[in-house]
Chains A and B, each alone.
Chain A
Amino acid sequence: MNNPAFDLLMWARGPAFDIALIVFIGGIVLRVVEIIILGRKKDMAPPKGNPVAQGIRTIFSRSAPREGLVKFAPITYVGGYIFHLGFFIAFFFFAPHIALFTDAFGVSWPAAGRVIIESATALAVLALIALTYSRFTDPVRKALTTFDDYVVLLLSALPLITGYVAVNKLFGDPTMMMAIHILSVNALLIAFPFTKLMHAVTFVMARYYNGTIQGRKGAES
C-alpha cells in the first residue's frame, strides 16, 4: 500500500527537484554567459566622469525610489517593496528553507519565528494581489502586460500560498500540500531563467550598464 501524497512529496524533492535545479542553474549560467560574451561595442571616446564608480553606485541606488514616483505609482512601489521583502523574509528565514542551504552549502543562520514568517508571507501575497489588480485596472499597465507577466505573478504567488497552507494545515492533506508546495517551487525554478523572473540576476548587470552610461557622460546616475 502506498501513500500517494508521500510518493508525490518524494518525487517533488527527488527527481522533480533535480530536473528543476538543472534547468534553473543551467539556464541562469547560459543566459549570463551569453550576455557577457555578446557584450557591447567598446566606446573608444575617453570618459568624462567615472563610469565604473557610477555603475556600481547605480546597482544600489536604484533600489530606492526616485523622488515623486511613489506618489505617482503608489501600488507599484509600495506593493513592490512589500512583496520583495516579504518573499525574501519567508524564503531566507524560515527554518526548513535554511536547512536546504545548510545541506547544500554548509552555512546556517538563525531562523525567524512563526509570526514573522507568516506575516511576511501573508503581506507578500496581498501585495501580489494588489499588483495584479493594478495591472488589470490601469489601462497603460494593462496594455504593457503580457501573458508571461501573469504567469510570473502566478508562479511567484503559488509557493507562498501553498507553503502557508501546508504549514498551517488550512486544507488538504498536509503531506500532499507540502508536495504541492515543493512542486510549485520547482515550477518557479524552471520558469526563472526564461521569463522576467531572470531580473533577480540580471538587474545587477542592467543597473551597472545604465550607471556606466551616465558616468561616462560625467553625469550622476
Chain B
Amino acid sequence: MANKPMLSELMKTHGISRRAFIKYCTSLASVMALSPAMVPRIAEALENAPRPSVIWLSFQECTGCTEAITRSHAPTIEDLIFNAISLDYHHTLQAASGHAAEAAREHAMKEHYGKYVVVVDGSIPIKDPGYSCIAGISNLDMLKETAAGAAAIVSVGTCAAYGGVGHADPNPTGAVAVSEIIKDKPIINVPGCPPIPVVMTGVLAHFLTFGIPELDELGRPKAFFGESIHDRCYRRPFYDKGMFAESFDDEGARGGWCLYKLGCKGPTTKSACATVKWNNGVSFPIEAGHPCLGCTEPDFWDNGGFYKPLSVPAGDYRKLGLAAVAGGAAAGVAGALLAKAGKAKAAKAHETVDAHDLEKSS
C-alpha cells in the first residue's frame, strides 16, 4: 500500500485545488447529515487514509451501477475519491481478463486479507450456480471466497442489496441478495437502480473516514436513505393542494404537478434523489416528469405496476368484483327462496287453534 499515492498527491497530479477539495468535503458532510465541524476531519481523514484495497464483484447485473459511478464527468472529485481507493479487481473496468484478472483478485485478497473492502453489484443465483459464472467460478463460490477475508461489504445497487430484477417474481434463477448469503461480515446496502453516484462515493468516503455509517433496518446508510422522496419532493406542494397530473401530456404534467396518480412511489421510497439529484445535481426522475419507481426499496419490481398509484389495488380486482355481484345475487336468490320455502312450509304446517282447543289441551 505504501507505494500507492495518497489522495493529496493524486489531487496535485489531477490539478484539483485545495479549495475544490474542501468544497467537496463540505458537500459530503452535508449529504451525510454531519455537522459542518466535521468538514476538516473528513478532509484530514480522506487525505491521510491509507488506500484500502477494493475488490468489486459483478454478478447478475446490468453494469448500470458501474456505468453510474464512472459516468460522472471525469475528472470529478468523486472520480478521484474512487481513485483514492485501490480498485484491485473490477472485471468491467480492468484491462486484464480471464485468468490474469482472477490472479489480480487472488493477489489482492492474499495481500490485504482481513482489510480489503468488497463491493458487490448484482444478485447471486442459487438455484443453479451455472446461471452466472466468472472464469468458471460460480457467483456463489466467488462471493463466499472473497467475503471471507473482507473487512466490510458494500452491496451496491438494488440487485446486490435486495435481489433486484433477478429476484423479481417468478425469480427463475433463484436470485438472492448478498445479505442472504454472507451473515458474518458488516454489510452496507447502497440500493438504487442505479444508486446515485455521490451516494456510492459518499458511503465509501464515510467508510474511509468514520467506518461503517449508521444503517437503517434495511441496511442502508441513514444519511442518504433516512427520508422519503415524497417528503423532500419539490412537487410536494401540488400534492398538498390536490393538484395532480392525470396523464403524461395534460395541463398538470406540463405544469409540473404531483405525479402520484401516475404511479409515483415517492411516499414509500427512501432515497436522497430529491435532494442530491443526479448528473451533478441537474435533475432527478420526478423533475424529468416521470413518477418514482421506488428503486431503492426491496421488491420494487413487484409493487403492483410502476404506473399504478399506491392507493390502487394491486391485483385484478375488477373481475373479482363482477364475480362477487353474480355470486352475491345467486346467494341472495337462494337465501330468499329458502326463506320463502320455510315460510310456505310453516304456513302449511299451521293448525288453526281456537279457544275450545286450548281449553281441551289444558
Binding site for B on A (CB under 8 A): 1-3, 6-7, 9-10, 13-15, 17-18, 21-34, 37-38, 93, 95-100, 102-104, 108, 110-114, 117, 169, 174-175, 178, 182
Contact = CB atoms under 8 A, between A and B. Distances in A.
Interface stretch (B46-54, B105-113, B313-321): B313-321
Interface of B: 161-163, 177, 179-180, 189, 218-219, 228, 231, 239-244, 246, 258, 260-261, 267-268, 297-299, 302-304, 308-315, 317-318, 320-321, 323-325, 327-329, 331-333, 335-337, 339-340
Contact of A13 (B162, B219, B313, B329): B313
Contacts of B323: 22
Contact of A110 (B163, B242, B318, B332): B242
Contact of B321 (A15, A25, A114): A25
Contacts of A21: 313, 317, 320-321, 324
Q: Which of A21, A93, A169 has the most C-beta atoms of chain B within 10 angstroms of its own C-beta?
A: A21
Contacts of B324: 21-26, 29
B126 to A, nearest CB: 14
Given A96-B260, A113-B242, A13 B312 contact: yes
B329 A33 contact: yes
B332 A30 contact: yes
A216 B361 CA distance: 43
Contact of B267 (A1, A2, A32, A174): A174
Contact of A99 (B219, B260, B298, B299): B260
B268 A95 contact: no
Contact of B179 (A1, A28, A33, A98): A1
Contact of A1 (B161, B268, B321, B329): B161
A178 B329 CA distance: 33
Q: Shortest 6 CB-CB distances between A and B: which pairs?
A: A33-B332, A29-B328, A37-B336, A96-B311, A111-B242, A26-B328
Contacts of A15: 315
A114 B242 contact: yes
Nearest to A22: B324
A56 B38 CA distance: 74
B304 A14 contact: yes
Contacts of B299: 2-3, 6-7, 10
A174 B229 CA distance: 12
A2 B304 CA distance: 16
Given A6-B299, A112-B242, A18 B268 contact: no
A34 B318 contact: no
Contacts of A99: 260-261, 309, 311-312
Contact of B340 (A6, A33, A38, A175): A38
B313 A34 contact: no
9 contacts: A6-B299, A10-B299, A10-B304, A13-B313, A22-B320, A29-B325, A96-B310, A100-B311, A169-B231
B312 A174 contact: no
Contacts of A103: 308-309, 312-313
Contact of B302 (A10, A31, A93, A102): A10
Contacts of B303: 6, 10
Contacts of B337: 37
A95 B97 CA distance: 54
A113 B244 CA distance: 11
Contacts of A102: 246, 261
A97 B321 CA distance: 18
B309 A31 contact: no
B339 A38 contact: yes
Contacts of B318: 104
Nearest to A93: B242
Given A14-B314, A17-B317, A29 B329 contact: yes
Contacts of B340: 37-38
Nearest to A7: B299
A181 B329 CA distance: 30
B268 A175 contact: yes
Contacts of A25: 321, 324-325, 328
Nearest to B308: A103
A37 B332 contact: yes
A207 to B, nearest CB: 21
Contacts of B239: 95, 114
B349 to A, nearest CB: 19
A53 B23 CA distance: 79
Nearest to A176: B268
Contacts of A174: 228, 267-268
Interface centre among A1, A13, A15 (most CB of B within 10 A): A1
B315 A14 contact: yes
Given A6-B268, A25-B325, A103-B309, A113 B332 contact: no
A197 B241 CA distance: 31
